[in-house]
Amino acid sequence: MAKSQPKKAESKSAPKEPDSGNTKTADQIADAKTKTKSKSKKPFIICAVVAAVLAIIGIIIAVICNNNLDPSDPRASLSYSRSFFIFDHGKYTLWNADGNRLTEDEYDNHSDFIAGYAYVYKDKQPGIIDENGNVSVEFGKYGSITAKGGLYLAQDGNTKTYQVLTGNGSVIQEGEDLEISTSNSSSPFAVIESKEKVNVYTCNGNLITSIDVTNDKESVKLSSSNDFGSFHYGNQNVIFDARNNNTLATFEDDSSYRFDSVSDDRSIIILEKYNDSDKYKLLANGQLYDLDELKYYSITMDNNVIGYDNYSELALLNNEYKIERRVSTYLDLKDTNNFAYRNKENAVEIWQNGEKIKTIENADIAASGILFENYYAIEQDKKANFYNLDGSVAFNHDFKDIYSLFDKNHHAIVSDEENKYYLIDTSGNQVGEYTARHISSRDGGYEFRNDEGNYAVADETLSWISDYKYESLYHRSTAVGRNLWTGRLENDNYDLIDVENHKNIVEDINIQSVYENYFTAKNDDGVLEYYTLDGKHFYTVSKDKD
């Protein structure tokens, strides 16, 4: 089997700086998770909604309870694992993120790892293993095992009795009429139903709640997000944190609530009523608030909660999450009391500490979004400027366009001429001496596009990683704990770019997919190969398998 030979990226110790058009690697550009709005002037709320959705989607994979990782780190999630299965020769094999084989080709089936355990079938007999392939429940001890939410419903085959197991084999409940369910494959909790009780357990076997079954047995409704769970039965709602094994709120309502938004740091939760999409509850600092004034709510990246009824008007909320004031979606927001926005008279109002301090007539917000630095972007008379929070002009310079607000790397994207954008620092000084037709602040880096439509990438230190050689760039958010991009070449192969460490991991290879701990590519024979995220080839699928 011919194995493709991906080229290891060479160190670019003295790259050239781009001059005009199609030039080479060089010396500056930066990361920015700005999620601020670009110059398209779509309403600010669209970006806020996207940010909130990404916040929810981006954190669903994980480790073990009571770890020391930042709560927002995907590796803290209970469904994250460094181990994974590869299917070949009709069997599954367990590998880890270092490219080490942990078991032989021996499993017929498997579940996902939750809290470090998964069930597997070997020679048609079920068992449970940990992430290193060690057996925690022997094969054949039970006639059947069903895996849900990191718990296991097992029956020995000789009796009608079921046992509910944790991954290490501990029995937490048993009975003859048990059923197990959960909300989705990555949920770290499960519901055990019998004729008398409905019990909710976390994946580690901690009992969250126990409710008596009613005469007219109703269905249990479940929802989950970022290791939080919601449970509804009868008129009882329970919101809990499976990662930390504690109940956050219990309240009565005939309807159930599902997760609408969760902040990156897991400190704020917005719940939506199932049968009434205009009714919400918010959990913050251990308190439960009703949100019923607006149709939609969203959490910004810096944990401001905003609301809206449509895409033309936002509502800023006070500390009790009630409407403080309504503003347009063309908004630069520091917090509820410090912001600038375009009013209905086409003027920009600047508010400081809850009071309007300045009005700029015939003006607009040049680039709207969340302020990482204390500068508003305002446009008047076809000129754009940055303004301080007190309403004074920040820099002695008129820009033709402000494409983005300052990002987390303390840079903004501006231009003085059409289609010639560059970066400035917080003193208003240009960073580097180059311009590009388009610059975008991406996750962990910047992409540049020249007049020919080709892309280059640079890291957050403003060091160039590549020249303008890519037809497209894509951030691989599935690579947990790594800031990896792929750059597509003219031949439809890819480079895998480690933006944080300023290097290419592999070059000119037919990458198929990038996962949490590995990526796949096809070799010259069209056969699938496996690589670690550091570019080490560790497995080639049998040629008769795809």
| pLDDT tens-digit readout, 459-486 | 887 788 999 999 999 999 999 999 999 9
Give dist(CA 331, CA 315) in Å, integer.
Answer: 11
Could you tell me which residues are beta bridge partners of residue 424? 412, 430
Is pLDDT at 38 greater than 60 in this prediction? Answer: no
Is pLDDT at 156 greater than 50 in this prediction? Answer: yes
**At 237, which amino acid appears?**
N
All domains in the chain, ordered by first residue: 1-34+427-546 (2.40.128)
**At 488, which amino acid appears?**
R
Q: pLDDT of 219-257, one tens digit each?
A: 899 999 999 999 999 899 999 999 999 999 999 999 999
Q: What is the reported pLDDT for 217?
A: 67
Q: What is the reported pLDDT for 247?
A: 96
How long a stretch of residues is the chain?
546
Give dist(CA 393, CA 397) in Å, integer.
Answer: 9
Contacts of 533-536 with CB under 8 Å at 24 or more apart are 533/97, 533/479, 533/482, 533/484, 533/505, 534/505, 535/6, 535/8, 535/496, 535/505, 535/506, 536/99
Is pLDDT at 45 greater than 50 in this prediction? Answer: no
Buried b (16+ CB within 10 A) or exposed e, 6-24: beebeebeebeebeeeebb
Q: What is the DSSP annotation of 24-79?
A: ---S-----------TT---HHHHHHHHHHHHHHT------TT--S-TTSGGGSTT
Q: pLDDT of 482-502, one tens digit each?
A: 999 999 999 999 999 999 999
Cβ count within 10 A of residue 141:
16
Q: What is the reported pLDDT for 65?
A: 38
Is the Cβ–Cβ distance between 376 and 392 less than 8 Å? no
Is the Cβ–Cβ distance between 171 and 190 less than 8 Å? no
Cβ count within 10 A of residue 169:
17
Is pLDDT at 384 greater than 60 in this prediction? Answer: yes
Q: pLDDT of 48-106, one tens digit each?
A: 443 433 333 332 333 333 447 888 899 999 999 999 999 998 999 999 999 999 999 89
Is the Cβ–Cβ distance between 399 and 414 less than 8 Å? yes
pLDDT (mean) for 102-128: 95
Q: What is the reported pLDDT for 87?
A: 95
Give dist(CA 35, CA 48) in Å, integer.
Answer: 8
Q: What is the reported pLDDT for 301?
A: 83
HSE of 504, CA atoms in CB hemisphere, 13 A = 24
**3-class DSSP state of 249:** strand
Give dist(CA 456, CA 22) in Å, integer.
Answer: 10
pLDDT (mean) for 135-155: 95
Lowest mean pLDDT among 18-32, 72-86, 174-188: 18-32
| Residue 302: closest CA among 349, 352, 339 | 339
pLDDT (mean) for 318-342: 94
Q: pLDDT of 255-281, one tens digit each?
A: 999 999 999 999 999 999 988 777 999
| Encoded tokens for 497 | 């770019």
